[in-house]
Amino acid sequence: MISVKIHETADVQSESIGPGTKIWQSVVVLPGARIGADVNICAHCFVENDVVIGDRVTVKSGVYLWDGVRLDNDVFVGPNVTFTNDKFPRSKAYPDSFLLTHVEEGASVGGGAVLLPGVTIGRGAMVGAGAVVTKSVPPYAIVYGSPARITGYVETTTLAGAVKDVAIRTPEDSREGVVKVGVGGVTLHRLKSVQDMRGDLSVGEFPKDIPFEPKRYFLVFNVPSEKTRGEHAHYKCHQFLICVKGSCAVVADDGESRCEVLLDSPDKGIYLPPLTWGIQYKYSSDAVLLVFTSHLYDAEDYIRNYAEFVEIAQSKAQQ
């Protein structure tokens, strides 16, 4: 069995440490901490009691993990990352319980980032160096800045396949202007467009061009450019999205692979079938997003937790 390697200058009081873990110079680990296998904790770190670290985690130098910090498997924490666990700290005044800060599987936090208490960094996400994270970060999102804002989604991950930047093709490139993007049943559509001196016109027919009979539509507009919308899937509802003015980016995810598409013309649309995780972001200041849906609004039809969505999607794929 691979033994734990603890440097002679480290003060390690916990007995809950997995095999193959290495703890380097001047690290302090309190008795209640739980540390997994093959973890690497670099010099001059501190691990408090109510801390749980998964397997194959890397914690670089100068990181203090306070009560309430949870690091899942394969997490990377860069040097001098600052975790916090109390929104209103006072000297010698302690809350009844500390807020949990959760970094999910495969996520990375860049050097010098600051994480406010109670946030969750979603699986596979990337927090840029020096970012100040004031709100939870969605799975696979790339964030940086102060306050941290979403600037993209990771291109590759061992957890959910590769993200593909898909450019929609013209009708001449694909029959009837429909392109499969390799993410479940998601398709991109080039709708009919006519231009003349009187103005431009784009038209689609149901269900010939848009593959379902709609029961409802809604418009999304006046969205601040840094905001992200969507971040959910549906059990039964089909959706078709058209950015009728301005532009916005749509991320479609089937639980195994993902694609990002820019909707920047009223004759472009994207079809999201049920059990597709959808995200919309990078809204231009004048963007107006039109969404057709196959069902009336039903709160019970929404899946809002990504981990739950992946489990449901994979179970469905195995049936």
Cβ(51)–Cβ(65) below 8 Å: yes
**In terms of C-beta distances under 8 Å and separation of at least 24 residues, what long-range contacts does 117-124 make, across chains too?**
117/68, 117/84, 117/85, 117/86, 117/87, 118/87, 122/306, 123/72, 123/159, 123/306, 123/307, 124/154, 124/157, 124/159, 124/160
Q: What CA–CA distance (Å, rounded) separates 32 from 9? A: 20
Q: What DSSP designation does 137 have? A: B
Which of 232, 234, 238, 295 is catalytic? The answer is 232
Q: Which of 134, 5, 119, 15 is nearest to 69 (CA)?
A: 119
Cβ(294)–Cβ(237) below 8 Å: yes
Cβ(154)–Cβ(126) below 8 Å: yes
The string of DSSP letters for 166-198 reads PPPPPTTTSGGGEEE-SSTT-EEEE-EEEEETT
Cβ(87)–Cβ(69) below 8 Å: no
Q: What CA–CA distance (Å, rounded) separates 97 from 100? A: 9
Four-CA torsion 17, 23, 29, 33, nearest 10 degrees:
-30
**232: annotated active-site residue:** yes
Q: Give the position of tokens 């509802």.
A: 237
Catalytic residues, by residue number, are: 232
